[in-house]
Amino acid sequence: MRSVFKYLAVASLLGLPIAGHADTGDAEAGEKVFQQCKGCHQVGAGAKHRSGPHLNGLFGRKAASLDDFRYSKSFQRAGAGGLEWHADTLDVFLENPRAMASGTRMSFRGIKNADDRANLIVYLRTFSDDPANIPEADPTAQALDHDLDPAILALKGDPEYGEYLSGECTTCHQAAGGDDGIPSITLWPEDQFVVAMHAYKTKQRNHPVMQMIAGRLGDDEIAALAAYFKDLEN
Amino acid sequence: MTLNRRTFLGASAVAAATLAAPMVRAQGKPRVVVIGGGAGGATAARYIAKDSKGDVDVTLIEPTRTYYTCFFSNLYLGGIKDIDDLGHSYGGLAAGGVNVVHDWAVGVDRDAKTVTLAGGGSLPYDKLILSPGIDFVDGAVSGWDLSAQNAMPHAYKGGSQTELLKAQLKAMPEGGTFAMVAPPNPYRCPPGPYERVSMVAHYLKANNPTAKIIVADPKPKFSKMALFQEGWNNHYAGMVDWIGEDFGGGEVSVDPATMTVTIDGEETKVDVCNVIPAMKAGRIAEIAGVTDGNWAPVNAADMSSKADPDIYVLGDASQQGDMPKSGFSANSQAKVCANAVRGALTGSKVFPAKFSNTCWSLIDANDGVKVGATYEATDEKIAKVDGFISQTGETSDVRKATYEESEGWYAGITADMFGASV
Ligand SMILES: Cc1cc2nc3c(=O)[nH]c(=O)nc-3n(C[C@H](O)[C@H](O)[C@H](O)COP(=O)(O)OP(=O)(O)OC[C@H]3O[C@@H](n4cnc5c(N)ncnc54)[C@H](O)[C@@H]3O)c2cc1C
């Protein structure tokens, strides 16, 4: 267990303002930095796990310790080895995620700019209740924000077909879950996978390769892929 | 070594049927032999072994122990990648249950269904997959043949040729001239020569800024032309002189002894000359008798040869329709083929063919562009469905993201070909 003092010490060392206190400017800047994380992580009221775990109550938490999220083996090992999330450990991790946990599925190259990291850490800090007295985020589950026909979402995918179709994905997205510039899509919750692919199909998400690939996938094919990738572990 | 032609097939069909009935083999597992451990062959071998879970015996024949990708080899010329970044071993395939034989295939007996190896011996097959890549058309560039490849490298197969070209680039005198003879269509990697021009220019700009690049091109236009030309103007103004067909770019001869290039009657002394001749299917496809002209025609639905239903041809060597000859295409075709071959041999479900391709090119450090398309199988060919291309005038953020994506693709496709490295 780390104390408040430890956090303060690190914070001053990094030149970080203390979250929840005066300097909201930096948390605001951090919110902007968080845009890069939003594809995979939610934070705040109603935050749920997406491809990455939600980040409420992150500070002081042991790595890979939320029961209902499937962490990479790398992170499970790191957690078992005593890694806890604090400003200092987050700073190191965010600079180069792979350096700290080589097998992380976090498809992100890291934030090289120390100010951006510091701002982000302050922002995330506002969603943890220790040491400052910030209430935990409201745990009420919230639907994913999309306007997809529930009938499409309810389709049961055929994982065997999904495995075949996945050949078209694995030329770029590594089946073992690694990432080096193209995001990991393994162990992605089924509904989120379906929502994302339909968003490409309808060009609400904009990436030309993905719009093209999703554009010709039928509803059944998207369901099949989602059913396959949700359990794909290396 | 017997050369089997289509005409022999009728006569031998009866005999062949008694020897090897597909599906129900009297003894042992069905056997697949794959010739060529590149983008097409390595992927096909890995997928059949992986998906059949040991029910199919898969042998891959490949002479080299380390496969050096052509993809990203231009980035090595530009100094952005190391040669070691491009090398991949076959250990992952062997661990995945593929029998890897390091040898050359020198003959295919289609009646006996065996492949002869240079080291002696032969391997029986029920299904044979050919993915031998390319060879060069004899006499395509006047004055050049394979014996000139040390003086004037093609660097269009991976490994030592690429290293040789890099060494020559580094040794260029100040203000010297780098010439490229570009190939006619169709050839491996349509944007490849132009990405190479970009990366050579990138190297020269930093190390030899008064040097010049001349490109003699038999084509009037080329892949991503507007994007490349915009990039050459922006990054390497005045360095690149591209001479297309309209200006006699196709009227070329070279003399390796004097290091001269003659374009449309005008002779120039050059310091490096990269000759990329017209291409054809790797020779073993011709030896197997499955080529028609320079390439091996295939059925789009499963990549089976039009000359022999038990032979499949993947990647650059195949003549399939609209897909460009690229590593991405070969990898995509291999997965369709693997599914069909496994189905034919084990009765597993065969799903409809789907193909796709995206080719990223690097114009300058962090200035990446891409072009891609999806394809489907029709009765005649692999036909294009939909596509996209990067736009001129994109912001540097977009271009940088495109480059980073290409790094992701490289890691993805090499893991898909060779298995995740351990
Ligand atoms: C400069 C350059 C840049 C490129 N960039 C890209 C790119 O960015 N993206 C992209 O998708 N593609 C790119 N390509 C194209 C890509 O390299 C090829 O299209 C791809 O390798 C084709 O795969 P293949 O399986 O047909 O042949 P290859 O990958 O060439 O594999 C053929 C293999 O067969 C072996 N072989 C040949 N004959 C025999 C025999 N008789 N017995 C046993 N083995 C044999 C060879 O040793 C070789 O390993 C590039 C090519 C070049 C030259």
Whether residue B272 sits in one domain with residue B165:
yes
Question: Which token pair is B309?
Answer: 């239903």
Q: Which of B290, B320, B348 is the last residue of a domain?
A: B348
Domain total in chain B: 2
**Over residues B358-375, mean pLDDT:** 97
Whether residue B255 sits in one domain with residue B143:
yes
Chain A hits for B394, Cβ within 8 Å: none
B387 touches chain A (CB under 8 A): yes
Parallel/antiparallel/unpaired status of strands B105-109 and B114-117: antiparallel
Whether residue B260 sits in one domain with residue B145:
yes
**Which residue of chain B has the CA closest to A173?**
B412
Alpha carbon distance B61, B37 (integer Å): 7
Between helix B327-346 and helix B396-418 the angle, nearest 10°, is 30
Say if CB A58 and CB A34 are below 8 A apart: no
The answer as to whether B331 is a domain residue is yes
Structural domains present in chain A: 2-17+145-229 (1.10.760.10), 27-125 (1.10.760.10)
Whether residue B290 sits in one domain with residue B175:
no
A15 touches chain B (CB under 8 A): no
The answer as to whether B406 is a domain residue is no
Among B332, B336, B386, select the one facing A171 at the smallest CB separation.
Answer: B332
Whether residue B162 sits in one domain with residue B100:
no
The answer as to whether B20 is a domain residue is no
> At which residue do the structure tokens 């892949």 appear?
B223
Instruction: Please say if the pLDDT value at position A50 is more than 60.
Output: yes
CB atoms within 10 A of CB B119: 11
Give the pLDDT of residue A145. 62
B388 touches chain A (CB under 8 A): yes
Give the pLDDT of residue A115. 87
Give the three-class secondary structure for B291.
coil
Instruction: Please say if the pLDDT value at position B322 is more than 90.
Output: yes
- The ipTM, to two decimals, is 0.84
> Which pLDDT band holds residue A234 (cuts at 50, 70, 90)?
low
* Cβ contacts of B310 within 8 Å, gap of 6 or more: B22, B110, B113, B125, B126, B127, B128, B304
Give the pLDDT of residue A130. 53
CA of B156, closest atom in ligand 1 = 53
**Which residue of chain A has the CA closest to B410?**
A172
> Which pLDDT band holds residue A23 (cuts at 50, 70, 90)?
very low
Say if CB B240 and CB B267 are below 8 A apart: no
CA of B329, closest atom in ligand 1 = 11
Give the pLDDT confidence of B335-346 residue by residue, as tens digits: 999 999 999 999
Instruction: Please say if the pLDDT value at position A7 is more than 80.
Output: no
Give the pLDDT confidence of A180-218 residue by residue, as tens digits: 888 888 888 888 899 889 989 988 887 889 999 999 999
Q: Do B416 and A175 touch (CB under 8 A)?
A: yes
Whether residue B301 sits in one domain with residue B222:
no
CATH number of the domain encompassing residue B195: 3.50.50.60
The answer as to whether B200 is a domain residue is yes
Higher pLDDT, A51 or B353: B353
Residue whose CA is at the smallest distance from ligand 1 atom 35: B36
User: Distance, in angstroms, between B26 CA and closest chain A CA?
Assistant: 29
Compute, in angstroms, the gap from residue B326 CA to the centroid of ligand 1.
8
Whether residue B262 sits in one domain with residue B172:
yes
A97 touches chain B (CB under 8 A): no
> Which pLDDT band holds residue B295 (cuts at 50, 70, 90)?
very high
Residue whose CA is at the smallest distance from ligand 1 atom 33: B36
Average confidence score pLDDT of chain B: 93
Q: Do B386 and A209 touch (CB under 8 A)?
A: no
Give the pLDDT of residue A222. 97
Give the pLDDT of residue A16. 46
User: Distance, in angstroms, between A24 CA and closest chain B CA?
Assistant: 28
* Cβ contacts of A96 within 8 Å, gap of 6 or more: A109, A110
Whether residue B143 sits in one domain with residue B260:
yes
Give the pLDDT of residue A146. 74
Give the pLDDT confidence of A51-107 residue by residue, as tens digits: 889 998 888 888 888 888 888 877 887 788 778 888 888 888 898 887 777 777 777
Binding pocket residue ranges, ligand 1, CB within 6 Å: B 35-41, 61-64, 67, 70-71, 73-74, 104-105, 131-133, 156, 188-189, 192, 196, 282, 284, 314-317, 325-328, 330, 359-360
Dihedral of the alpha carbons of B398, B402, B403, B409, in degrees to the nearest 10 = 160
Q: Do A168 and B332 touch (CB under 8 A)?
A: yes
Chain A hits for B327, Cβ within 8 Å: none
Say if CB B346 and CB B362 are below 8 A apart: no
**Over residues A105-128, mean pLDDT:** 85
Whether residue B290 sits in one domain with residue B272:
no
What is the domain extent for residue B207? 139-277
Q: Do A165 and B413 touch (CB under 8 A)?
A: no
The answer as to whether B388 is a domain residue is no
Mutate to test the pocket of ligand 1, among B188, B290, B328, B336 (most ligand atoms within 8 A of CB): B188
Closest-CA residue to A166 (of A232, A103, A73, A211) = A232
Between helix A4-14 and helix A87-95 the angle, nearest 10°, is 50
Say if CB B134 and CB B294 are below 8 A apart: no
Among B335, B374, B388, select the one facing A167 at the smallest CB separation.
Answer: B335
pTM of structure: 0.80
Whether residue B226 sits in one domain with residue B125:
no
**Over residues B164-168, mean pLDDT:** 98
Mutate to test the pocket of ligand 1, among B129, B163, B279, B316 (most ligand atoms within 8 A of CB): B316
Alpha carbon distance B266, B268 (integer Å): 7
Say if CB B368 and CB B349 are below 8 A apart: no
Compute, in angstroms, the gap from residue B42 CA to the centroid of ligand 1.
11
Give the pLDDT confidence of B85-96 residue by residue, as tens digits: 999 999 999 999
Among B354, B374, B412, select the one facing A174 at the smallest CB separation.
Answer: B412
Whether residue B308 sits in one domain with residue B251:
no
**Which residue of chain B has the CA closest to A168?**
B332
A35 touches chain B (CB under 8 A): no
**Over residues B230-240, mean pLDDT:** 97
Higher pLDDT, B324 or A93: B324
Closest-CA residue to B303 (of B268, B340, B273, B264) = B340
Give the three-class secondary structure for A108.
coil
B413 touches chain A (CB under 8 A): yes
Percent of chain B with pLDDT over 70: 93
Question: Which token pair is B68?
Answer: 């050096």
The answer as to whether B103 is a domain residue is yes
Residue B50, by phi and psi: left (phi above 0), alpha (psi -120 to 50) or beta? alpha
Compute, in angstroms, the gap from residue B337 CA to the centroid of ligand 1.
17
The answer as to whether B363 is a domain residue is no
Q: Which of B348, B371, B406 is the last residue of a domain?
A: B348
The answer as to whether B65 is a domain residue is yes
Whether residue B284 sits in one domain with residue B227:
no
Dump strand ranges (E) for B295-414.
296-297, 311-313, 318-319, 355-364, 367-377, 382-389
Least confident range from A40-54, B46-60, B214-228: namely A40-54
> Which pLDDT band holds residue B27 (cuts at 50, 70, 90)?
low
Instruction: Please say if the pLDDT value at position A140 is more than 70.
Output: no
Q: Which of B295, B320, B348 is the last residue of a domain?
A: B348
Residue B198: φ, ψ to 5°: -60, -45
Instruction: Please say if the pLDDT value at position B284 is more than 70.
Output: yes
Does B186 sit behind a cis peptide bond, omega within 30 degrees of 0 on the bond before it? yes
Instruction: Please say if the pLDDT value at position B10 is more than 50.
Output: no
Alpha carbon distance A179, B330 (integer Å): 22
Higher pLDDT, B123 or A72: B123
Compute, in angstroms, the gap from residue B138 CA to the centroid of ligand 1.
19
